[in-house]
C-alpha cells in the first residue's frame, strides 16, 4: 500500500498530508492564515508566501508525527503546482523538490482544481472492528460532472477520469466564493465571510428581498456573480450619489437590524446557490445530449462546505439517481490530502515529474 506525502500551498493554507493507497488519510495538517489577512478583508499574496516559508517545516513534522511515519517510509512526494498565487506555490514546490531529491523518491505535480474533485474519495482509517467505511473506487464515477467552487474558481467540468477533465463553463467575473466574501463585507459580517454568511442565512427569510439571478444566455454554462454582489450593495446602502471616490451612500450595513442582516444573507445565499444549481442541471442535460451521461456529480472547493449547496446537490443526485461526491468538511478547504490522494493515480501509472517541475499560477487549458 503506497504512502504518498502531499504538499499544498496554493493560497493561504499551508498543508502537509500523508495518504495511503490513494484514499486513506493518515494525517492532514493545515495551518491557516486567517488571522494574518483578516484586517485586509482578503488574502495578501506577499504575506501569504512569507507565512508559508515559516510554517512548511513545522507542518511537515507534525504530519509525520501524526501518521507515526518517518520520511524513509514514503513512496512518493506530491505537490499542488498549479493554479494559485505564484509566491505561495513556489514555497510548496521548492519544498517538494527538496524532499524528492533528498529521499530519492518520485515527484508528482498535481493540478489543484482536479484535486478538489477527487477530495470526496478521501476517508479516514477505520479504527473500530465494527466500524464500516464506504470505499469509493474513483474509476466507477466516470464520466462525471464536476463543480469546483471557491474564492478563485467557479467552474464546471466534464470529468472523463481522475486526472482528465474538460472545461464546460466558468465564471466571467467574480468567483462565487469571492462574491460571498464581498457580500459579507457589505453586511458587516467579518472575515472569512463565506462561513459567517452561511451560518447567518440559516436564520433569515430569503423571500423578503428580491435579488437578480444572472444566468447569462439560455444555454450558457458560464457563471456571473458580479451583478448579484452589486445588487446586494444597492439594496443595503441605497444607490450612490456622485461618482468614484467621492460617491456617498444613503446608509450602510451597520444600519441593518440583526433580522435584516439575516434576511439579506439568506436572500444572497438562496440566489447564489440557485445559480449554481441551474447550471448543474443544464450541464447534466448537455452531457446526456452528447452521449456521455454523467454517472456522478462531484463538487469541491471551499464553497462545497456551504450547507445549502450540500443539501441541494444531494437532492439533485437523489432525483437523478446519480452518485454525489461531496467532500467531508475537513477536505473542502485547500488541503494536502487531496493532493496526495490524486497523485496516487499518476503513481500507479509511473507518471512522474523531474526537478524542473514549474509552479504555474494559471489553470491548465
pLDDT given at position 129: 46
Residue with cell 451612500: 249
CA distance 94 to 357: 9
The answer on 291 and 195 residing in a single domain is yes
Residue 286: count of CB within 10 angstroms of its CB:
18
CB of 17 closer than 8 Å to CB of 28:
yes
52 plus 170 within the same structural domain = no
Q: Are residues 85 and 147 in the same domain?
A: no
The answer as to whether 230 is a domain residue is no
Q: Which domain holds residue 188?
A: 139-223+258-325
Question: How far is residue 179's CA from residue 187's CA, in Å, rounded to a whole number?
Answer: 12
Taking Cα atoms as reference points, which of 306, 237, 45, 268 lies closest to residue 174?
A: 268
The edge-to-edge listing of strands for the beta sheet with 154-161 is 164-170, 154-161, 144-149, 296-300, 323-325
Same domain, 176 and 263: yes
Strand partners, 353: 107
321 plus 337 within the same structural domain: no
The tally of domains found in the chain comes to 2
Instruction: Give the bridge partners for 147, in sequence order.
Output: 156, 299
**81 and 180 together in one domain:** no
> CA 257 to CA 275: how far, in whole Å?
27
What is the model's pLDDT at position 206? 96
This prediction has a pTM of 0.90
- The whole-number pLDDT of residue 1 equals 85
Pair (342, 274) in one structural domain: no
Please check whether residue 316 lies inside any domain of the structure.
yes
**207 & 304 share domain:** yes
Residues 340 and 320 placed together within one structural domain of the fold? no
Q: How far is CA 319 from CA 10, 79, 147, 279, 332, in A?
A: 36, 37, 18, 16, 24
For residue 197, is it within any domain?
yes
Same domain, residue pair 178 and 314: yes
Average pLDDT of each block of 10 consecutive residues along the chain (365 residues)?
A: 95 94 96 77 83 94 97 97 94 97 98 94 71 62 94 93 93 94 93 92 95 92 95 92 83 91 97 97 97 96 96 97 95 96 96 96 76
Amino acid at each position: 500500500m503506497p504512502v504518498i506525502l502531499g504538499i499544498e500551498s496554493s493560497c493561504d493554507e499551508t498543508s502537509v498530508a500523508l495518504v495511503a493507497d490513494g484514499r486513506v488519510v493518515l494525517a492532514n495538517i493545515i495551518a491557516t492564515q486567517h488571522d494574518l489577512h483578516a484586517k485586509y478583508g482578503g488574502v495578501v499574496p506577499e504575506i501569504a508566501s512569507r507565512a508559508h516559508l515559516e510554517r512548511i517545516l513545522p507542518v511537515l513534522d507534525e504530519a509525520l508525527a501524526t501518521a507515526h511515519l518517518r520520511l524513509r517510509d514514503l513512496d512518493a512526494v506530491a505537490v499542488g503546482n498549479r493554479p494559485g498565487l505564484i509566491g505561495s506555490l513556489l514555497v510548496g514546490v521548492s519544498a517538494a523538490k527538496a524532499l524528492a531529491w533528498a529521499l530519492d523518491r518520485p515527484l508528482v505535480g498535481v493540478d489543484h482544481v482536479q484535486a478538489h474533485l477527487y477530495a470526496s474519495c478521501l476517508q479516514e482509517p477505520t479504527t473500530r472492528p465494527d466500524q464500516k467505511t464506504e470505499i469509493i473506487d474513483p474509476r466507477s464515477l466516470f464520466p462525471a460532472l464536476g463543480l469546483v467552487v471557491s474564492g478563485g474558481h467557479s467552474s464546471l467540468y466534464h470529468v472523463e477520469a481522475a486526472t482528465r477533465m474538460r472545461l464546460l463553463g466558468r465564471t466571467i467575473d467574480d468567483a462565487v466564493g469571492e462574491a460571498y466574501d464581498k457580500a459579507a463585507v457589505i453586511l458587516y459580517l467579518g472575515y472569512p465571510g463565506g462561513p459567517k454568511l452561511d451560518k447567518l442565512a440559516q436564520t433569515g427569510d430569503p423571500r423578503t428581498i428580491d435579488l437578480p439571478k444572472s444566468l447569462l444566455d439560455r444555454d450558457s454554462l458560464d457563471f456571473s456573480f458580479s451583478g448579484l454582489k452589486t445588487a446586494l450593495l444597492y439594496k443595503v446602502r441605497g444607490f450612490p450619489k456622485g461618482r468614484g471616490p467621492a460617491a456617498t451612500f444613503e446608509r450602510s450595513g451597520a444600519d441593518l437590524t440583526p433580522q435584516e442582516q439575516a434576511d439579506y444573507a439568506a436572500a444572497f445565499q438562496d440566489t447564489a446557490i440557485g445559480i449554481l444549481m441551474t447550471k448543474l442541471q443544464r450541464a447534466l442535460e448537455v452531457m446526456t445530449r452528447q452521449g456521455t451521461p454523467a454517472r456522478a456529480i462531484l463538487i469541491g472547493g471551499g464553497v462545497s462546505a456551504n450547507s445549502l449547496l450540500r443539501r441541494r446537490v444531494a437532492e439533485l443526485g437523489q432525483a437523478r439517481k446519480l452518485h454525489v461526491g461531496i467532500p467531508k468538511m475537513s477536505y473542502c478547504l485547500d488541503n494536502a490530502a487531496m493532493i496526495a490522494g490524486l497523485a496516487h493515480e499518476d503513481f500507479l501509472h509511473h507518471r512522474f515529474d523531474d526537478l524542473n517541475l514549474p509552479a504555474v499560477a494559471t489553470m491548465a487549458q
